[in-house]
Structure 1
Amino acid sequence: MAKHKDKEVKTNAMRILDKNKIFYETINYECDEFIDGLHTAEKTGAPVEQSFKTLVAQGKSKEYYVLVIPIAEEVDLKKAAKVLGEKSIEMIHVKDITKVTGYVRGGCSPLGMKKLYPTIIQESAETFDMIYVSGGRIGSTIKVNPQELARVVNAKFADFIVC
């Protein structure tokens, strides 16, 4: 299923795409520690507007949520809470990322977390044939169709970024 630009060890995110027979490409880049999405796009050559970051929030109900937004944008927590049917949500602390997701900061993919959390993807993703998300480890990016991504993580598209 995958078209690999470099030989690599598969991540949980890639295994899930393979299992669901979803086409994707991987792009690997040299990086030993967290860098933000803009620098990742610069390293990989991925268009900024098609590059998305994965954020994790927790609602007042204590439920966790996955938010997939363009790398240059900020999440509007009030809008996101409304979309998710929560009174309010807040971003989880960096120190809790691994405990909640199984991933490290900078390598958090919307695919293959410890649990399948309710997920929303910024609606602008629907305007692209392919988007770029974390491959599930630092130094790995996945290029995937946003509709296929949404299907496999049971996500919905909505507008929840700061205008």
Structure 2
Amino acid sequence: MAETKTNVMRMLDKAGIAYHSYTYDHEDGKIDGVSVATKLGQNPDQVYKTLVTKSGSGQPYVFVIPVAAELDLKKAAKAVGEKSIAMIHVDEINKLTGYIRGGCSPVGMKKLFPTVFDQRVLDIPTVIVSGGKIGFQVEVAPDALLKLVRGKTADLTVE
């Protein structure tokens, strides 16, 4: 059987970016990042979740942080030069990104939104993010991923 390729994997292939893909069973409904990292025996400090937000003016921003961390909204706003940032409602995720909750990847959204990774991504050899579908992940070199999504880094998490 041929390996299923997600749109994220096809985009990484097209960009010539090496990656390793993982699949996991999600029948139990446990699709949060920490549960997924545990299922796959991965270091949660290396597995990052993709959070979609909007500024007060309605501009979407994407923040990518370690799965066990919490986004500091004040730090996030400062990182993108906005007064305030708020998480978008779960109902808006698909309309805005083309993804669903639990399968949101920084790669391959409907539009390339300003994307900021937690600065700790620079301290790890590879980062694991959603493969764009629940049950799929990709492991990529942080610099290649940052370049692909035109991302930057900043201190983003609650201490």
Please, what TM-score do these two structures have when normalized by structure 2?
0.96
Mapped partners of 2:30, 2:75: distance in 1: 28
Residue 52, structure 1, aligned to residue 39, structure 2 = no
Partner of 2:157: helix, strand, or coil? coil
Q: What is the CA distance between 1:12 and its match in structure 2?
A: 1.6
Where does the alignment leave 5 or more consecutive residues of structure 1 unmatched?
1-5
What is the aligned partner in structure 2 of residue 15 from structure 1? 10
Counterpart residue identity of residue 11, structure 2: I
In structure 2, the gaps of 5 or more residues are none
Aligned CA-pair RMSD: 1.2
Instruction: Name the CA distance, whole Å, in 2 between partners of 1:96 and 1:106.
Output: 13
Offset at 1:46?
Answer: 1.4
Tell me how many residue pairs correspond in the alignment: 158
**Among 82, 104, 109, the residue aligned to 2:100:** 104
Q: Deviations over 1:76-100 (max 9, x none)?
A: 1011101101110100001111111
What letter corresponds to residue 81 of structure 2 in structure 1? G
Residue 52 (structure 1) shift: 0.4
Secondary structure (helix, strand or coil) at the match of 1:109 reads: coil
Q: 1:112 to 1:128 in 2, by over 3 A?
A: same
Scaled by the length of structure 1, the TM-score of the pair is 0.93
| Amino acid corresponding to residue 129 of structure 2 in structure 1 | V
Pairing of 1:88-103 with structure 2 (within 5 A): 88-103=84-99
Is the CA contact 1:34–1:138 (under 8 Å) kept in the aligned structure 2? no
Percent identity, please.
50
